[in-house]
Structure 1
């Protein structure tokens, strides 16, 4: 079931619980009236627990989203630094830079859903092993550059190590999703809360309308949690604009070199 389907199911169940509460109120009005204080006290307790835990879940989900965005931006910076170091060796670095360009294209297809049919759940350490192979190829090629210094080699190796480390962190974080049972428990509280609200209401149209709005609000909270913990697809996505800019610069670089060489010949 997709995210919208889950949210719709939560809203439907919560509103149904409220309707069930209305029927309980109509079937046993005397019992409800005598237990009104207890019902209000229990609903206040559950409402407080629900508000605290829900706030923590939304905050944690937002922190997860920001963490993914920071990792993705760091990944772009690392690849850009490797490319800048390779640019210092024109001609010799053409093949390694071509490998790096293909890697950037693959990363965009891997993490950006609008560029590929693959979902982030399909990302695993097998993809990382392919990247490590190409990173090692770039490092081995850089050792054969003429006039390459030890500092240059150490810098390329350090950025390569950081590239692998960041991707490992992204893959690990994608595998650590919000526990489904935790969401079931929290939104189960919401359903119980709506049932109690229905019990203390006489079921007029205005009360039904406001409880319907409340069910929509509960579903929207679930929507935020699920969207923010799946940051590479959906409505709230990690921005790939930095990778697009990097790829554009890598594509345009050879064209600038050709233009510069033709001007020199003239």
Structure 2
């Protein structure tokens, strides 16, 4: 189910809970919604408001951390690619095949990640497998190099180190997408919000203004849920991580 549909269903459920509360407020005997009963309902509503605010904020922060972390990893990956390319450049013309292989692998990675439109769970699995494959291919190409000078030996050592760091960065990108948001916790919070709006309905008069306020609140809750879902899927959601650092690295590779 897409995040848009999920958020829409949340809005419907929350709004319906508020309307049910308004209906019960008119149907139930007065002693159930006035006096001590009203004070108790207000206290529970206050507790639920606090819980929803804290946990929803935590979920949004966690989802943003996933999004921000992937952008940081992309920048780190671009820097490590450039570091490896420069090390191969220092090695000399003998390393040109390795530089070409690195450039092709980067172009393929950009196309796979931002052109496939696959889910982030599939992206994580494919990224991990692709990182291992690229590591094996780079190691084979690098081990075929036979340095004859001290400068080439130093450059090859730096290239091997940069290659390991590059593969580690790719794997960290996939690990960062494993269960980014606790969906059971998200469902619990949605349950709290449904109960909260039900309580709002019980303590309010059934007027046009009350219905509009419930609708606005339901839309706000749905937008928060959608924000959590979208930020936690930085390669398939509306808020996509930018490939610009990798594209900039690709544009200058092989020119030194």
Do these two structures clear the TM 0.5 threshold for a shared fold by scoring above it?
yes
Q: What residue number does 2:239 align with? A: 236
Counterpart Cα distance in 1 of 2:103 and 2:187 = 44
Counterpart Cα distance in 1 of 2:158 and 2:239 = 35
Counterpart Cα distance in 2 of 1:106 and 1:29 = 68
Matches within 5 A, 1:243-258: 243-250=246-253, 253=255
- Following superposition, the deviation at residue 176 of structure 1 comes to 2.5
Q: Residue 117 of structure 1 aligns to a residue in which SS?
A: coil
2:222 is the alignment partner of 1:210? no
Q: Which runs of 4+ in 1 moved over 6 A?
A: none
Please list the CA deviations of residues 236-265 of structure 1 after superposition, one character each: whole Å capped at 9, or x if unmatched: 1211101111222237x3xxx9xxxxxxxx
CA contact (8 A) 1:92 1:145 kept: no
2:122 is the alignment partner of 1:122? yes
Which of 161, 165, 190 is matched with 1:162 structurally? 165
Q: What residue number does 1:57 align with? A: 59
CA contact (8 A) 1:111 1:120 kept: no
Counterpart Cα distance in 1 of 2:118 and 2:92 = 35
Counterpart Cα distance in 1 of 2:166 and 2:20 = 55
Matches within 5 A, 1:95-114: 95-112=97-114
2:77 is the alignment partner of 1:78? no
- Following superposition, the deviation at residue 83 of structure 1 comes to 1.0
Which range moves more in the overlay, 101-110 or 121-130?
121-130
TM-score (norm 1): 0.88
Please list the CA deviations of residues 62-87 of structure 1 after superposition, one character each: whole Å capped at 9, or x if unmatched: 22222111111111110111111222
Counterpart Cα distance in 2 of 1:130 and 1:144 = 23
The runs of 5 or more residues in structure 1 that have no matched partner are 258-266
Which of 178, 189, 206 is matched with 2:181 structurally? 178
Q: What residue number does 1:264 align with? A: none
Please list the CA deviations of residues 147-203 of structure 1 after superposition, one character each: whole Å capped at 9, or x if unmatched: 453321221111111111111111111122212111000111011000000111122
- Following superposition, the deviation at residue 228 of structure 1 comes to 1.5
Q: What residue number does 2:12 align with? A: 12
Equivalent pairs, count: 250
Which of 43, 46, 52 is matched with 1:44 structurally? 46
Q: Residue 149 of structure 1 aligns to a residue in which SS?
A: helix
- Following superposition, the deviation at residue 13 of structure 1 comes to 0.5
Please list the CA deviations of residues 187-229 of structure 1 after superposition, one character each: whole Å capped at 9, or x if unmatched: 1101100000011112211111111111111111111211111
Counterpart Cα distance in 1 of 2:89 and 2:80 = 14
Counterpart Cα distance in 1 of 2:147 and 2:118 = 37
Counterpart Cα distance in 1 of 2:118 and 2:205 = 50
Tell me how large the CA RMSD over aligned residues is.
1.8
